[in-house]
């Protein structure tokens, strides 16, 4: 049986879907133990309420049951959940009130099932220009909320701080204050402008070498309060150089959705752990691959994980910040939610040819537990666009 998919050239091509899932995705609830050699987080998406009468500027309407069910899916495969991050549309449809509720609910669910969770703390409750004191207070509010749930904290990059800071010293001051008062070690997140253009010049300079020095100064001043750093710059060389300069005991979590196989595999001088948006659709496969790596079988790990890079590069192609659309689309095709609706109407952010290619690549990897359901849902979307079977 074939399906006709539109390409970027505007032409239709025939594609023959799989009829059986890959082994790693068959038992969606069975999963396995958390990987031992690497700490692995999946940055999880939120599921919108498709029946809510909302618009792009309305507060997010979340389907809490489906959202929490997806987190249980990730935990069942041994992955940790990085909650309320940019994959969950922070700053792109999900406001602080919605994120706070998401953090509370997910942290409670993590306690109930014994899942690992870390949650994003930022400054997105601020509206309009803010000075450094207001930025610091906003961070404090969110950090306190995360810590009150018992979850680990991820200090997210702040648009407000990027706008208010006039020098690297401002970053050193704000982050130093937050790290001194954090009750437990946190993860520091450096999100590049390809993910959020408002973060251009973070750490006080648009020159990445200069910014890196400031970032490392923050870590070096408070190594006991930094569990790790999460780097999302899509620059593997820079990440390797950065992780080699970290103080003993401070982890590097790759956020590089282009080069994660080699960064996680590592070299004779170390490796990266993972905190990745692409591990949302890759959950079962990613967990199984890292468990293979646990045995010392780097070749087996790469054999499983390397073929996923084409899909990841496709989902994260420019404009990279819209990768969330492909992530939610694949969750719908995989049966993790009943609809392809997103907070803020972001399902419109990618073209039909882009989505068709995402389906083809994911199906080729065997990511869909029920390939027939995925094909049927893909065809239903094609029907809406006037592409008949």
Strand intervals (E) in 35-87: 40-43, 80-83
pLDDT at 87: 97
Q: What is the tens place of the pLDDT at every residue in 19-30?
A: 988 876 544 444
Among residues 267, 254, 198, the alpha carbon closest in space to that of 43 is found at 254
CB 255 within 8 A of CB 275: yes
Residues 6+ apart with CB under 8 A from 322: 346, 349, 350
pTM: 0.95
Q: In 10 A of CB 105, how many CB atoms?
A: 17
Q: State pLDDT tens for residues 263-278.
A: 999 999 999 999 999 9
DSSP code string of 75-126: HHTT-EEEESSGGGTBTTTB-HHHHHHHHHHHHHHHHHHT--EEEEE--TT-
Q: pLDDT per position in the chain (389 positions), as tens? A: 899 999 999 999 999 999 988 876 544 444 678 999 999 999 999 999 999 998 888 899 999 999 999 999 999 999 999 999 999 999 899 999 999 999 999 999 999 999 999 999 999 999 989 999 999 999 999 999 999 999 999 999 999 999 999 999 999 999 999 999 999 999 999 999 999 999 999 999 999 999 999 999 999 999 999 999 999 999 999 999 999 999 999 999 999 999 999 999 999 999 999 999 999 999 999 999 999 999 999 999 999 999 999 999 999 999 999 999 999 999 999 999 999 999 999 999 999 999 999 999 999 999 999 999 999 999 999 999 999 87
């Amino acid at each position: 049986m074939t399906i006709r998919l539109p390409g970027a050239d505007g032409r239709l091509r025939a594609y023959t879907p799989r009829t059986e899932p890959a082994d790693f995705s068959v038992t969606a609830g069975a999963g396995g133990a958390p990987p031992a050699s690497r700490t692995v987080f999946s940055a999880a998406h939120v599921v919108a309420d498709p029946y809510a009468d909302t618009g792009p500027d309305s507060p997010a309407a979340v389907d809490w049951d489906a959202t929490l069910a997806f987190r249980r899916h990730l935990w069942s495969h041994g992955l940790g959940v990085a909650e309320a991050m940019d994959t969950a549309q922070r700053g792109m449809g999900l406001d602080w009130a919605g994120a706070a509720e998401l953090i509370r609910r997910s942290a409670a669910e993590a306690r109930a099932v014994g899942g690992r969770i870390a949650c994003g703390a930022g400054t997105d409750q601020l509206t309009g220009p803010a000075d450094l004191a207001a930025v610091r207070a906003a961070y404090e509010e969110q950090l306190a909320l995360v810590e009150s749930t018992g979850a680990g904290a991820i200090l997210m990059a702040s648009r407000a701080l990027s706008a208010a800071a006039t020098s690297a010293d401002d970053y050193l001051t704000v982050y130093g204050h937050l790290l001194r008062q954090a009750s437990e070690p946190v993860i520091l997140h450096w999100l590049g402008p390809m993910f959020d253009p408002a973060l251009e010049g973070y750490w006080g300079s648009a020159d990445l070498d200069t910014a890196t020095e400031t970032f490392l100064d923050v870590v070096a001043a408070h190594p006991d309060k930094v569990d790790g750093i999460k780097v999302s710059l899509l620059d593997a060389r820079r990440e390797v150089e950065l992780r080699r300069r970290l103080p003993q005991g401070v982890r590097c979590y790759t956020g590089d959705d282009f080069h994660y196989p080699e960064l996680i595999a590592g070299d004779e001088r170390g490796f990266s752990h993972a905190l990745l948006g692409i591990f949302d659709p890759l959950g079962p496969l990613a967990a199984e691959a890292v468990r293979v790596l646990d045995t010392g079988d780097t070749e087996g790990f790469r054999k499983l994980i390397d073929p996923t890079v084409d899909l990841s590069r496709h989902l994260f192609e420019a404009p990279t910040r819209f990768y969330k659309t492909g992530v939610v689309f694949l969750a719908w095709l995989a049966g993790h939610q009943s609809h392809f609706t997103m907070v803020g109407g972001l399902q419109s952010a990618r073209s039909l040819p882009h989505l068709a290619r995402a389906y083809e690549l994911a199906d080729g990897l065997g990511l869909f537990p029920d390939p027939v359901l995925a094909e049927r849902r893909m065809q239903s979307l094609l029907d809406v666009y006037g592409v008949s079977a």
